[in-house]
Amino acid sequence: MQATLHHVQQENESIQTFYFRPETMMRYVAGQFIEITLPHANADERGIRRWFTLSSAPGHELVSITTRRAEQSSSFKQVLLSLKTGDTLEISEPMGDFVLPINPQTPLVFVAGGIGITPFHAIVQSLLDKKEERNIQFLYSVKTESDQIFSQVFQQSFIEKYLFVGQSRLSAQHIVDVVQGIEGKQLFISGPEPMTEAIVDEFKSQFGMTQDQLITDYFPGYPA
């Protein structure tokens, strides 16, 4: 379907949120993603399509994606960043299973690395819209303090938030220590692909967790 750029919001020095109005009301579940198609001349080897997790909660006229500007952006990212209000682009129907479990009593552990916070923003905003609370422990890893985004949304009484600043990534053991055990908890991990894969591998090898216990959303080739 087609969508029209409504406005762009600067989250920090390098991260922007793009708000689009789809031609028809988009139905989706918080945490899902879409594919964006941007045909352009002289496209590089990565092509004219990208997957983006929706950073907006369902039920609103506008949908949003949040992305980081790279020092050397791909041709796709350059075109995306040059869009003006009123420009149109092609988006797919939402898809993906990075969504909350049906049982509202399930304790949740959210692990976000950098821009991997986007699906969690959609999920928590959706909970706020529905006036629903869940048991959430949220671990957010960024390289610098200024890399944080969406801080206000995560300052909710039902969210136990831990911020980690620095170059080193979180390990499975560190996560377990912080949340005081993972038995009976559902883990959601989102961030750059190397980070996500490393944490998942550690949980499997060190703690015997299975793939269905580890819900992942990763960003391949990010941030180009």
Tell me the per-residue pLDDT of 32-57, one tens digit each, with 9 for 90 and over: 999 999 998 888 888 899 999 999 99
Residue 209 exposed, middle or buried by CB count within 10 Å (0-12, 13-18, 19+):
middle
Contact 11, 17 (CB under 8 A): yes
Question: What domains can be seen in the chain, in order of their start residue?
Answer: 2-91 (2.40.30.10), 108-219 (3.40.50.80)
Query: How confident is the model at residue 220, as a pLDDT?
Result: 65
pLDDT tens string 199-220: 999 999 999 998 888 999 977 6
Specify the pLDDT at position 45.
86
The pLDDT value recorded for residue 157 is 84
At CB < 8 A and 24+ separation, what contacts does 163-167 make? 164/139, 164/140, 165/141, 167/143
Query: Do 156 and 123 contact (CB within 8 A), yes or no?
Result: no
The pLDDT score that the predictor gives to residue 222 is 57
Residue closest to 162 by CA, chosen among 143, 179, 146, 145: 179
Nearest to 124 by CA among 146, 157, 148, 93: 157
DSSP 221: T
Strand arrangement of the beta sheet that strand 49-53 belongs to: 49-53, 33-37, 88-91, 2-10, 15-22, 63-68
Q: For residue 189, what are the β-bridge partners?
A: 111, 216
Strands (E), the chain: 2-10, 15-22, 33-37, 49-53, 63-68, 88-91, 108-113, 136-142, 159-165, 186-192, 214-219
CA 124 to CA 136: how far, in whole Å?
10
Which ranges of the chain have pLDDT less than 50? none
Q: Which residues contact 220 (CB under 8 A, 6 or more apart)?
A: 193
Backbone angles phi, psi at 25, to 5 degrees: -55, 125
Amino acid identity at 34 = I
The pLDDT score that the predictor gives to residue 69 is 85
Residue closest to 119 by CA, chosen among 207, 24, 32 = 32
